[in-house]
């Protein structure tokens, strides 16, 4: 597991620890059941570390199999929904309304093939287990943007954020996730999760609109960015602005057909929730150049004409800081 994944899991753990520090939640589990879960977690911790970090493929697959079987047995414990499992090398996120939690992790076959795995555990009144295993169908999908999907043909990702929205009395949960996509590139995904009339998970739907763009594009079922393997990109929710911010990407070699050459250029796109859809904003921050300033693209190159990674990162930080600042009220003119 690379540093990016560990960063996302760590951020998720902080939120999870806060949620589960509530005495009300902890009190849901009896002392006897908590002891059982703690013992199971000790084994799961070993399996989860091996399935991620072991250098031998066969050992990773064996550990994953042992992890899944042991994990399901642990979740069968009454009120396991309230047990954090915070020592495991997987992502664990609770929905903002605590109606479910979602586990996701990654299996590496080799440098060319990564598979995501996961499960959704629903909160139940009697503390029994209601679980939906997630099966990654990414490698069998030519166009992952075109349709809603079930738990059995999920587009896999390691999730690091859940945003809950409502429309016409129904709740929608937007999932932000990371995908160690290929040997040359990574992906980040934005996926809307909802539940049908049978209370089964549905991933995707007509949720990503480009109606305000100058160049019109069809509504998509999900959104993703693909970028250079070692590039740092931003795709996350800003609660103050109530939008999802996304780094605008360009090809560092001026080869737009090669997604593995994409890096941030310092600008941001965004999505804002409107009438049950995430509506695309092509450029979130519009700023006029002052006299003597060069266009931003000129600042992205060093003296040798190569992309300047440090400048890109600093430009992204400046944009974020400017976006946070509230405009000052207009001053009264002197009579």
Instruction: Give the model confidence (pLDDT) of 3-62 as tens digits.
Output: 444 444 444 444 444 444 343 454 489 999 999 999 999 999 999 999 999 999 999 999
Global model pTM greater than 0.75: yes
Q: What is the pLDDT of residues 37-48, one digit of tens each?
A: 999 999 999 999
Would you say residue 41 lies in a domain? no
Contact 124, 136 (CB under 8 A): no
Mean pLDDT on 158-177: 98
Q: Phi first, then psi: give them for residue 150, nearest 5 degrees.
A: -100, 180
pLDDT of residue 141: 87
Would you say residue 4 lies in a domain? no
pLDDT of residue 313: 52
Mean pLDDT on 96-101: 97
Supply 235's token pair. Answer: 């795709």
Supply 182's token pair. Answer: 């290929």
pLDDT of residue 9: 47
pLDDT of residue 318: 52
pLDDT of residue 142: 86
pLDDT at 111 over 50: yes
Instruction: Give SS3 for 15.
Output: helix
Would you say residue 269 lies in a domain? yes
pLDDT of residue 149: 96
Would you say residue 236 lies in a domain? yes
Closest C-alpha among 190, 164, 288, 304 to residue 247: 190
Mean pLDDT on 309-331: 49
Number of domains in the chain: 1
Q: Which of 63-67, 69-73, 140-144, 290-294 is least confident? A: 290-294
Q: What is the pLDDT of residues 226-253, one digit of tens each?
A: 999 999 999 999 999 999 999 999 999 9
**How many CA within 13 A on the CB side of residue 146?**
4
**Per-residue pLDDT band at 180 (split at 50, 70, 90):** very high
Closest C-alpha among 116, 123, 103 to residue 154: 116
Would you say residue 276 lies in a domain? yes
pLDDT of residue 6: 47
Would you say residue 146 lies in a domain? yes
Instruction: Give SS3 for 87.
Output: coil
pLDDT of residue 168: 97
pLDDT of residue 316: 52
What distance in Å separates the CA atoms of residue 179 and residue 235, rounded to the nearest whole number? 13
What distance in Å separates the CA atoms of residue 79 and residue 70, rounded to the nearest whole number? 16
Supply 167's token pair. Answer: 């429309």
Would you say residue 308 lies in a domain? yes
Mean pLDDT on 90-95: 97
Look over the chain and give the mean of its residue pLDDT values, rounded to a whole number: 83
**Per-residue pLDDT band at 284 (split at 50, 70, 90):** confident
Domain residues for the domain of 198 are 136-321
Closest C-alpha among 133, 135, 136, 134 to residue 187: 136
Calculate what percentage of the chain has a pLDDT beyond 70. Answer: 77
Block residue for tokens 């809307």 = 192
Would you say residue 280 lies in a domain? yes
pLDDT of residue 260: 96
Q: Phi first, then psi: give them for residue 268, nearest 5 degrees.
A: -130, 140
pLDDT of residue 47: 97
Supply 198's token pair. Answer: 């049978």
């Amino acid at each position: 597991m690379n540093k990016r994944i560990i960063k996302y899991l760590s951020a998720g753990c902080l939120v999870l620890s806060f949620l589960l520090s509530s005495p009300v939640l902890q009190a849901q589990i009896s002392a006897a059941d908590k002891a059982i879960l703690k013992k199971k977690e000790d084994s799961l911790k070993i399996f989860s570390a091996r399935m991620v970090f072991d250098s031998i493929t066969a050992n990773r697959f064996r550990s994953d199999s042992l992890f899944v079987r042991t994990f399901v047995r642990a979740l069968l414990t009454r009120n396991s929904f309230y047990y954090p499992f915070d020592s495991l090398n997987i992502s664990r996120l609770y929905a903002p309304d605590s109606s479910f939690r979602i586990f996701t992790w990654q299996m590496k076959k080799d440098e060319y093939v990564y598979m995501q795995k996961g499960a959704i555990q629903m909160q139940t009144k009697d503390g029994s287990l209601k679980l939906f295993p997630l099966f990654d169908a990414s490698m069998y999908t030519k166009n992952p943007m075109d349709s809603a999907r079930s738990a059995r043909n999920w587009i896999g990702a390691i999730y690091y954020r859940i945003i809950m929205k409502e429309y016409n009395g129904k709740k929608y949960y937007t999932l932000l996730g990371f995908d160690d996509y290929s040997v040359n590139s990574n992906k980040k995904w934005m996926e809307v999760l909802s539940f049908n009339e049978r209370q089964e998970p549905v991933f995707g739907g007509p949720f990503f609109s480009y109606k305000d763009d100058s160049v019109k594009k069809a509504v998509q079922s999900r959104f993703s960015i693909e970028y250079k393997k070692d590039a740092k990109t931003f795709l996350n929710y800003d609660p103050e602005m109530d939008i999802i911010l996304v780094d605008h990407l360009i090809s560092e070699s001026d080869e737009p057909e090669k997604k593995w050459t994409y890096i941030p250029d310092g600008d941001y796109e965004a999505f804002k929730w409107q009438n049950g859809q995430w509506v695309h904003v092509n450029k979130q921050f519009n700023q006029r150049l002052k006299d003597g300033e060069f266009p931003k693209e000129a600042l992205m190159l060093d003296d040798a004409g190569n992309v300047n990674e440090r400048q890109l990162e600093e430009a992204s930080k400046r944009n974020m800081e400017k976006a946070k600042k509230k405009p000052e009220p207009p001053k009264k003119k002197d009579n």
